[in-house]
Structure 1
Amino acid sequence: MLVYILGVVLFALGICVSVALHEAGHMVAAKSFGMKVRRYFVGFGPTVFSFRRGETEYGLKWIPLGGFCDIAGMTALDEVKPDEAPRAMWRFRTWKRTIVLAAGSFTHFVLGFVVLYLMAVTMGLPNLADRPVINEVSDCVRSATTAEAWNDPTCGAGDPAPAKAAGLRPGDEVTSVGGTPTDTWQDLLGAVQTATGPTQVEILRDGQPQTLTIDVARVTRPTGEGGTEQVGAIGASQAPMLPYGAVAALGGSAAFTGDLLVQTWERLLEFPEKIPAVVDAIFGAERDPETPVSVVGASRIGGEAVEQGLWEVFLLLLASLNFFVGIFNLLPLLPLDGGHIAVTWYERVRDWLRKLRGKAAGGPVDYSKLNAVTGVVILIGGAIVLLTVTADIVNPIRLIQP
């Protein structure tokens, strides 16, 4: 239990650091353009401590659920002092304001990439592309007529060990079997299962191509229909995680980041249709592991991952959460940063069209006219948070079912 609590605390701390860096991204970008940053605080509620450096007050508040960066004149409705007016954010060029507003999400993407890079160089990255990389080489392959016997690792005296005898090693990537290219593990299985006897196997070992001759054994295995079949087998398993060196990890992490961003966007599009399942879970239905989770649920899963020693799950969840927050925050909805970006570019396009018609610029958007829309977004967002938190308390997603 103590390890579980430690995992929950560590994950919650990771979220707090992520939020703090989000606001720091806004602050650094704003300062770099000369905007006036009044305050930068981590957390909400009563102030624990604060100090001033230059024109900015920095501090920590008691409730570590968020933070804020107070930039003078973020909108034309914000009150600014006379000395702040020339440096009010709304007076700056559109592209500068866009960079400042997007800097928070950009920070999440960078943080997610850093987490993945640390995974790559320490424990590897998940093999999402189904690459035929070897994880373990078995001491033997043997025939079996039942699923229980097939999963029994005990070797008999005469059982062959094709892969081990041929010198196949963990980390080798099989590129072809008997002349058939094996781009994925499924390709490898198909080629091996139809092979028999001495077969040429092309591999990459430490980036260098090599050729092995593996004496593929024919074994009996059970089928799903209760029968048996004869298939080829070499005695090797697929690597679930792909290791990287310090340099190769840069490219590997970048590619994996791209894959996760695409998956995150797809999950975000599916988000609305998953809400009914969350409601059902609150009232006792089995919790779908694909349903959305709150910070509470993510922290609980992080705690279970640490308790089970699954640090790769912990780090992958932390990176995925950063990518989700980064993309979600860019949605063109107020009060999200993406909503402010949308308003900023609406002003720019509107003024460009007015200029074409010989009219003067229209001036800053009156945000008070958008209060109703903003209120609806906040209401819906609050309801979703309440639902997911409730579900994560009464019927949480678990890594290992009790």
Structure 2
Amino acid sequence: MLAYVIGVVLFALAICVSVALHEAGHMVTARMFGMRVRRYFVGFGPTVFSFRRGETEYGLKAIPLGGFCDIAGMTALDEVTAEEAPRAMWRFKAWKRTVVMSAGSITHFLLGFIVLFAMAATMGLPNVDQKPIVSTISDCVRGGTTVDQVNNPVCQPGDPAPAKKAGLLPGDVVVSVAGKPTPTWNEMVTQVKAVSGPVPVVVERGGKQQTFVVDVPKVTRPAANGGTESVGAVGVGVAKTIHYSVLGAFGGATSFTGDMFARTWDGLMAFPKRIPAVFNSIFGAERDPNTPVSVVGASRLGGEAVEAGLWQVFLLLLASLNFFIGVFNLLPLLPMDGGHIAIVWYERVRDWLRSLRGKPAGGPVDYTKLSAITMVLVVIGGGVTLLTVTADIVNPIRLQ
């Protein structure tokens, strides 16, 4: 129980740090370009303490959830003092404002990548794509009518050991079996089941492809329909984790980051249709593990991961959450940073088109006219947050 509590606290603290660094990203880039940064605070609510360094006030609020960075003149409609006016944010070029407003999300992306790089260089990254990487070589393959008989590690005289005898080694990546490509482990298994006798197996080892002739035996195995079937077997196990050298960790983390971006985007696109399942789970329906979770749910999962000693899962959750927050924050909707970026470039393109027609630049977008839409989005966001928090309390997703 203590390990679970520690895990929950650690995960919640990591989220708070991530969001605080998000705001720090805005602050650092704004100051880099010369914009006036009034305040940078971690947390919300009453001020615990603050201090001023130069023109910026730094401080800590009583509720350590998130934070904020107050940049003078974010829009032309914001009030600024005479001293602040020359360095108001809206006066700077569109690309500079874009960098500042996207810096928060970029910070989340960097944090996610750093977590993945650290994993790749130490504990490895999960083989989520089921790449046909060999982790174990069995001393023999056995037939049987039950799973227990098949998995019995005690070899009997005469039991074949095809992979071991052919010279396959842990770490080999199976490229093809009998001339047919095997991009995934399941495709490799399917192909092996269908062959027998001497079969050429191409593997990648040390960056080079090598061909081995594996004498594939036919063995009796339990079938999916409850009976038995005769299938080919070679005696290899799949690698659940891909390990890298320190140098290779960068490439591994980069590739995995790309995969996580794709999954994050797919998750965002599927987000609306999964909300009804979250609602139903509050009233007793089984919780779909693919439904959205709140910070509460993510922290609970982090606690369970620590309790079970699954630090790889803990870190993957943390990286995933950073990628999700980063992508979500860039959606072109107010009040998120992506909405402000969209307006900046709307004004830029509009003024360019006006210049082509010999017209002067138009005025700044009146944010007050968008307040109704913004309020609707805020209410929807608040409702979804309340819904997921409730579901994560009464019917949480669990690791097991």
Determine if the TM-score, normalized by the shorter chain, exceeds 0.5: yes
Name the CA distance, whole Å, in 1 between partners of 2:153 and 2:189.
19
Contact 2:142 / 2:149 at 8 angstroms: preserved in 1? no
2:231 aligned with 1:231: yes
Q: Letter of the 1:108 partner, please give it.
A: H
The corresponding residue for 2:47 is: 47
Name the CA distance, whole Å, in 2 between partners of 1:392 and 1:380.
18
Q: Which runs of 4+ in 1 moved over 6 A?
A: none
Q: Letter of the 1:221 partner, please give it.
A: R
**CA deviation after TM superposition for structure 1 residue 195, in Å:** 2.8
Bigger CA drift: 39-48 or 88-97?
39-48
The corresponding residue for 1:251 is: 251
1:270-307 Cα offsets, whole Å, 9 max, x none, are: 11111111110001110000100000000101111111
2:302 aligned with 1:302: yes
2:396 aligned with 1:381: no
Q: Letter of the 1:273 partner, please give it.
A: K
Structure 2: gaps of 5 or more residues = none
Name the CA distance, whole Å, in 2 between partners of 1:167 and 1:48.
66
Contact 2:139 / 2:161 at 8 angstroms: preserved in 1? yes
**CA deviation after TM superposition for structure 1 residue 362, in Å:** 1.9
Q: Letter of the 2:6 partner, please give it.
A: L
1:197-249 Cα offsets, whole Å, 9 max, x none, are: 34333222232333434332221001111221111111111112111112222
Q: Letter of the 1:28 partner, please give it.
A: V
The corresponding residue for 1:181 is: 181
**CA deviation after TM superposition for structure 1 residue 399, in Å:** 0.5
The corresponding residue for 2:37 is: 37
Provide the aligned C-alpha RMSD in A: 1.6
The corresponding residue for 2:160 is: 160
| SS in structure 1 at match of 2:267 | helix
Q: Letter of the 2:42 partner, please give it.
A: V
Name the CA distance, whole Å, in 2 between partners of 1:375 and 1:363.
23
| SS in structure 2 at match of 1:360 | coil
2:293 aligned with 1:286: no
Contact 2:112 / 2:319 at 8 angstroms: preserved in 1? yes
Bigger CA drift: 386-395 or 32-41?
32-41
Name the CA distance, whole Å, in 1 between partners of 2:235 and 2:308.
28
Contact 2:219 / 2:230 at 8 angstroms: preserved in 1? yes
Q: Letter of the 2:186 partner, please give it.
A: Q
2:81 aligned with 1:81: yes
The corresponding residue for 1:369 is: 369
Name the CA distance, whole Å, in 2 between partners of 1:152 and 1:65.
52
Name the CA distance, whole Å, in 1 between partners of 2:186 and 2:29.
47
The corresponding residue for 1:67 is: 67
Q: Letter of the 1:134 partner, please give it.
A: V
Structure 1: gaps of 5 or more residues = none
| SS in structure 2 at match of 1:247 | helix
The corresponding residue for 1:2 is: 2
Identity of aligned residues (%): 68
The corresponding residue for 1:144 is: 144
Give TM-score, length-normalised by structure 2: 0.96
Contact 1:90 / 1:364 at 8 angstroms: preserved in 2? no
1:110-134 Cα offsets, whole Å, 9 max, x none, are: 1111111111111222223321101
Bigger CA drift: 251-260 or 26-35?
251-260
Name the CA distance, whole Å, in 1 between partners of 2:168 and 2:47.
61
Name the CA distance, whole Å, in 2 between partners of 1:163 and 1:48.
65
Contact 1:101 / 1:341 at 8 angstroms: preserved in 2? yes
Name the CA distance, whole Å, in 1 between partners of 2:190 and 2:269.
35
**CA deviation after TM superposition for structure 1 residue 157, in Å:** 4.1
**CA deviation after TM superposition for structure 1 residue 379, in Å:** 0.5
